[in-house]
């Protein structure tokens, strides 16, 4: 993801759960969200960490990597749907892959993506 300065606080104070198993991508997401004014929760690198963070529930929206090692983020996504917490799937998988079929109606940003694309998707799901 390409860093972009001048995001103007477009997510000022919004708490965002970040779930990403790639440390470099997690750092990039963190920096981009903070640059936009968000408060990052995590980042979580495993499904277990993310589920524990979801139990605390101190975030308004989530950015979720679909594949976390040998796990998928589906159990967490189900929990968020049940709680009415919006999320963006940030993944290298195509929307048309069988493993993504259940989430085809969700906001999906395919890696690699620009900072603008990720922030736009987060703002869009928050506005719903």
Tell me how crowded residue 29 is: count the other CB atoms within 10 A of its CB: 25
Q: Helix, strand or coil for residue 48?
A: helix
Q: Helix, strand or coil for residue 118?
A: helix
- Which pLDDT tens digit goes with each residue over 67-126? 999 999 999 999 999 999 999 999 999 888 898 899 988 999 999 999 999 999 999 999
Please calculate the CA angle 82-22-104 and round it to the nearest 5 degrees.
40
What's the average model confidence in pLDDT over 26-35? Answer: 96
Q: Which residue has the higher pLDDT, 6 or 107?
A: 107
- % residues pLDDT > 90 (the chain): 80
Give the whole-angstrom CA distance, residue 63 versus residue 15: 11
Per the prediction, the chain carries an average pLDDT of: 91
Q: What domains can be seen in the chain, in order of their start residue?
A: 15-127 (3.40.50.2300)
Q: What does 73-96 look like in DSSP terms, one character per residue? A: SHHHHHHHHHHT--EEEEESS-TT
* pTM listed for this prediction: 0.91
């Amino acid at each position: 993801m390409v860093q972009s300065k001048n995001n103007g606080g477009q997510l000022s104070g919004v708490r965002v759960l970040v779930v990403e198993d790639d440390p470099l991508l997690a750092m990039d997401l963190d920096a981009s969200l903070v640059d936009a004014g968000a408060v990052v929760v995590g980042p979580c690198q495993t499904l277990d960490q993310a589920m524990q963070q979801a139990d605390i529930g101190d975030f308004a929206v989530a950015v979720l990597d679909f594949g976390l090692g040998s796990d998928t983020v589906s159990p967490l996504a189900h929990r968020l749907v049940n709680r009415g917490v919006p999320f963006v799937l940030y993944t290298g998988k195509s929307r048309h892959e069988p493993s993504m079929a259940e989430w085809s109606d969700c906001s999906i940003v395919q890696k690699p993506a620009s900072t603008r694309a990720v922030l736009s998707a987060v703002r869009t799901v928050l506005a719903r």
